[in-house]
Amino acid sequence: MKENRYDYIIVGAGSAGCVLANRLTEDARHRVLLLETGGSDKSIFIQMPTALSIPMNTKKYAWQFETEPEPYLDNRRMHCPRGKVLGGSSSINGMVYVRGHARDFDEWEAEGAEGWNYRRVLPYFKKAETWAFGADDYRGDQGPLGVNNGNNMQNPLYQAFVDAGVDAGYFPTEDYNGAQQEGFGAMHMTVKNGRRWSTANAYLRPAMERPNLTVVTHALVHKVLLDGKAATGVRYEQGGKVHEAKAVEEVILSAGSIGSPHLLQLSGIGRREVLEQAGIEVKHELPGVGENLQDHLEFYFQFRCNKPVSLNGKLDWWNKLKIGLRWILKKDGLGATNHFESCGFIRSKAGVEWPDLQYHFLPAAMRYDGKEAFAGDGFQLHIGHNKPKSRGTVHVQSADPTQAPQIRFNYLQHEADREGFRDCVRLTREIINQPAMDEYRGPEIQPGAEVQTDEQIDAFVRQAVESAYHPSCTCKMGTDELAVVDPQTRVRGIRHLRVVDSSIFPTIPNGNLNAPTIMVAERAADLIRGREPLKPSDAPVLMDGQWQERQRPGTAKRVLG
């Protein structure tokens, strides 16, 4: 058994772990060990943005988790892939860059995550990024993370969708990551110079040039080592051999919303009955571990397209070859985008203060995993209700670290979530039937014009809805009895142990999770290093001043929220 000593041990080289590896090794005095179960991300299928469906569905690059039968989805087992490669889920995701609404982070603080309100987290979003169109009060231009709009909406369907949203009475928004999320506009992606800009590319590779960072791949962590109520290191397996690494300062779990709670439970930290049922000795009872699981669901609203402008005409082998060759040679063209280049964020009903529905617009009609496309031209909207009230669990099943945990989201358990998806169907039809889409809009493929009543919509959603791959909140930050980490990201009751990843979100934001996960790691790095936090922002937030009375803003003047 080999033993090594480091100042910090980070478990998981994903969206958060790569950020921490970079920021903690900025101080040459800190020796840092980064452990990752997966291997190299040097694959064309990871680096070429248009190939995004491949790594997500490849065992080599992703944990292919599957849920228990979901009781409110007709007992379907849902696919739950998580990154298992350098860059983690930032190397397999759709590269969509959405921070969430300002009120999402104010909500975090209201839930007990003191210091994590919008004014305090905005500077860390700015610190992380280089926005292709320059810095302002909301956007940064000096950070590691490259963010742009792909091909700048060259396909006419992108702008037609934005115009349809405006026709329907919603705001246009110049930057949904800026002053105003609500509305329709261009979508942003983590792509730089035509390449997927994962946290491995943005943060880890520069850090690997430093002598004080050790990166170990193909390392499966078995448990956190404890001495009483203090973490002292980790036990991990690599190449059939078991090693122990000791941490002088801290062990930091960045294994994600499935991996981090599972690893705490394997280490004897969690809800007593869950651990005892799995045959694991209880070292520290912490009932919130693996609870509070949240995710975004979405379905594809699909239409045939009356003009031959969609990407369905580019899906044959010859066009795919040309796209791939152009990307290899020039790093541009259709290979350099995730194809989600326009979007929308709206409120589902009057009385909802900030957007809870999100659109990703795709100028093609096909499955997200790339397995099926429709003959002829088409387009689709990925639409979901993004502030779910349903809660699930991640529970260890045995002391064997190779056995996957039991995952149950309880999707659509709450009536408000089912209502949200009914709103998705009805509001989307209204938007797509605006004049801006007239020249493109063909017959509705899915759900189908016959799906009209609440009962019909509910039945369709139960069968068609899919995960948006945003599991979160299983080690939530706060101060109540179910909080797992405190607002400093320290595991409650255990010294020298932190969790830093999307599992510590108290609630799920309205948007994709890569951007807020990176922000959390940036801010946590300052907390770990004992540095003064960045100065809070005073940048205003623009919202509809009459949100209590109406579902959409119409032509009313925007006001400061």
Residues 332, 432, single domain; the answer is: yes
Range of the domain at 40: 1-67+80-99+192-294+471-534
Range list of H helices, 286-414 = 317-330
Residues 168, 287, single domain; the answer is: no
Q: Is residue 456 part of a domain?
A: yes
The residue among 420, 439, 464 that closes a domain is 464
From residue 61, give the alpha-carbon distance in Å to each of 81, 83, 387: 9, 6, 29
160 is in an annotated binding site: no
6 is in an annotated binding site: no
381 is in an annotated binding site: no
Q: 82: part of which helix (H) or strand (E)?
A: strand 79-83
Q: Is residue 554 part of a domain?
A: no
Q: How far apart are CA 533 and CA 523, in angstroms?
A: 7
Q: Is 165 exposed, middle or buried (0-12, 13-18, 19+ CB in 10 A)?
A: buried
Q: Is residue 127 part of a domain?
A: no
From residue 222, give the alpha-carbon distance in Å to each of 160, 230, 399, 525: 51, 17, 9, 25
28 is in an annotated binding site: yes
Which domain CATH number covers 284? Answer: 3.50.50.60
Contact 110, 127 (CB under 8 A): no
Residue 1 has a pLDDT of 45
Residues 182, 215, single domain; the answer is: no
Contact 39, 218 (CB under 8 A): yes
Which residues, 6+ apart, have CB-to-CB distance to 284 below 8 Å? 226, 229, 268, 269, 493, 494
Residues 331, 453, single domain; the answer is: yes
Q: Is residue 481 part of a domain?
A: yes
Residues 361, 450, single domain; the answer is: yes
Q: How far apart are CA 518 and CA 55, in angstroms?
A: 20
Residues 376, 449, single domain; the answer is: yes
Q: How far apart are CA 249 and CA 245, in angstroms?
A: 12
pLDDT tens over the chain, length 561 residues = 455 999 999 999 999 999 999 999 999 999 999 999 999 999 999 999 999 999 999 999 999 999 999 999 999 999 999 999 999 999 999 999 999 999 999 999 999 999 999 999 999 999 999 999 999 999 999 999 999 998 899 999 999 999 999 999 999 999 999 999 999 999 999 999 999 999 999 999 999 999 999 999 999 999 999 999 999 999 999 999 999 999 999 999 999 999 999 999 999 999 999 999 999 999 999 999 999 999 999 999 999 999 999 988 887 888 889 999 999 999 999 999 999 999 999 999 999 999 999 999 999 987 655 555 667 899 999 999 999 999 999 999 999 999 999 999 999 999 999 999 999 999 999 999 999 999 999 999 999 999 999 999 999 999 999 999 999 999 999 999 999 999 999 999 999 999 999 999 999 999 999 999 999 999 999 999 999 999 999 999 999 999 999 999 864 344 444
Given the residues 243, 296, 339, 470, the one annotated as active site: 470
275 is in an annotated binding site: no
20 is in an annotated binding site: yes
Q: Is residue 338 part of a domain?
A: yes
25 is in an annotated binding site: yes
Residues 317, 446, single domain; the answer is: yes
The residue among 464, 497, 525 that closes a domain is 464
Residues 350, 301, single domain; the answer is: yes
Residue 375 has a pLDDT of 75
Residue 328 has a pLDDT of 95
**11 in helix, strand or coil?**
strand
The per-residue DSSP string of 222-244 comes to: EEEEEETTEEEEEEEEETTEEEE
Residues 501, 478, single domain; the answer is: yes
10 is in an annotated binding site: yes
Which domain CATH number covers 460? Answer: 3.30.410.40
Residue 200 has a pLDDT of 98
Q: How far apart are CA 93 and CA 53, in angstroms?
A: 8
Residues 95, 225, single domain; the answer is: yes
Q: Is residue 265 part of a domain?
A: yes
Q: Is residue 552 part of a domain?
A: no
Residues 475, 363, single domain; the answer is: no
Q: Is residue 517 part of a domain?
A: yes
7 is in an annotated binding site: yes
Residue 405 has a pLDDT of 98
DSSP designation for 516: H
Residues 310, 279, single domain; the answer is: no
Query: Is 470 assigned a catalytic role?
Result: yes
Total count of domains within the chain: 2
Q: How far apart are CA 184 and CA 399, in angstroms?
A: 48
Which residues, 6+ apart, have CB-to-CB distance to 358 below 8 Å? 98, 296, 298, 343, 344, 345, 383, 384, 386, 510, 511
Place of tokens 């603080």: 109
Largest Cα–Cα distance of the chain, in whole Å? 69
